[in-house]
Amino acid sequence: MTMPANSRLAHAPADHPKVPPQAKIGVLVANLGTPDGTDYWSMRRYLGEFLSDKRVIDIPNWKWQPLLQLIILSKRPFTSGANYKTIWNNEADESPLMTITKQQVAKLKQSMAALFGEAVEIDFCMRYGNPSTQSVVDRMVKNGCEKILFFPLYPHYAGATSATANDAFFKALMKQKRQPAARVAPEYFDRPNYIEALAQSVLKAYPDGAQPDVLVCSYHGMPKRYLMEGDPYHCQCQKTTRLLRERLGWEKDRVHTTFQSVFGREEWLKPYTVEHVAELAKEGKKRIAVISPAFSADCIETLEEIKGEICEAFEHAGGESFTYIPCLNDDDAHIALLSEVIEENLQGWINRI
């Protein structure tokens, strides 16, 4: 008797529904998301989904939605769209965050294949916009992933980033008839190889050994209230800065923590990067470098805000030399670190080949 091509169906009756040929493990990395285009409607769709997320803005709907739909979403898509246009990857017609995420995943695919062969499938999704978490989870399950490791690509935990990405993952699992076993990878803000990769990126910016007067670690901000309500993001950012400073061996007053991208009228985590760099210039710190450890990939907040607005504020206040240190993106050291986190969180599910 000849075996059917799919050996998992060897003893199944003829009308048995399709079964994927091999049970696999899925690794699903997630980032924030990005608009599909810079036009008004693409921007409005993206910002509308993002800013309606209660983990991001926790104001009750009856108060927030009229303000969001009638005022913010009639203006911000134009200003944000113009900002995105200045950094857009025109060749691929996508934002840098999308291009870099694809590059990271292409390298992670190679790394996973070398570690685990064909048993592990890796892909990415976005919390807002495309590809949606639901669509990629559906595809993974269809492809036979009976276990999925979900990995939000944020070094630091925040309700507004990691938790909402996890919510979307669990929501996507709710729709599966055959639900896979699921794990979530934790934040990695203090892992030695993450700190080492950051340190190497700083040292690479100064190959001649010259150093800036101050290294500013500028993290994405959030309302101060979220910290007071128990979000650990602020503390994790402070610890990343301290570990980076200790690894570099620089004095305390030469490595600062600041927060950027303030939105709305509420007080956000301080000091604000844009004000802080201007103060540094006024104090006579003429050469500064800015690094952005909370982002795993360069995006609008780094390429436009830091390299544009924040650099301008520094120069306007008398600063002379502003060095932007890129995010870890698809650097080999970053990919090795991400692979390390993945391998650790796959323990008990699969061993190296």
Would you list which residues are annotated within the binding site for Fe(2+)? 220, 301
Interface residues toward ligand L6N33NVT, by CB under 6 A = 32, 34, 47, 56-57, 76, 80, 95, 97, 154, 158, 160-161, 220, 222, 233, 261, 263, 294-295, 299-301
Dist. CA 13–CA 198, nearest whole Å: 56
> Could you say which of Fe ion, ligand L6N33NVT, none residue 234 binds, taking C-beta under 5 to 8 angstroms by partner kind?
Fe ion
Any contact of residue 234 with Fe ion (CB under 5 A)?
Answer: yes
> Could you say which of Fe ion, ligand L6N33NVT, none residue 172 binds, taking C-beta under 5 to 8 angstroms by partner kind?
none
> Could you say which of Fe ion, ligand L6N33NVT, none residue 268 binds, taking C-beta under 5 to 8 angstroms by partner kind?
none
Nearer to Fe ion by Cβ, of 25 and 47: the residue is 47
Which tokens go with 98? 């999308």
Binding-site member from 235, 246, 316, 332 for Fe ion (CB under 5 A) = 235
Any contact of residue 114 with Fe ion (CB under 5 A)?
Answer: no
Closest CA to 176 of 131, 150, 152, 146: 146
CB of 9 to Fe ion, least distance (A): 47
Any contact of residue 225 with Fe ion (CB under 5 A)?
Answer: no
**Which stretch of DSSP H or E encloses residue 287?**
strand 287-291
Give whole-number Cα distances, 311 to 44, 77, 107, 276, in Å.
28, 24, 32, 11
Question: Which amino acid makes up residue 49?
Answer: E
Dist. CA 179–CA 151, nearest whole Å: 18
Specify whether the CB–CB gap between 169 and 150 falls below 8 A. Answer: yes
Nearer to ligand L6N33NVT by Cβ, of 160 and 185: the residue is 160
Specify whether the CB–CB gap between 172 and 26 falls below 8 A. Answer: no
Specify whether the CB–CB gap between 42 and 93 falls below 8 A. Answer: no
Residues lying near Fe ion in the complex (CB under 5 A) are found at 234-235
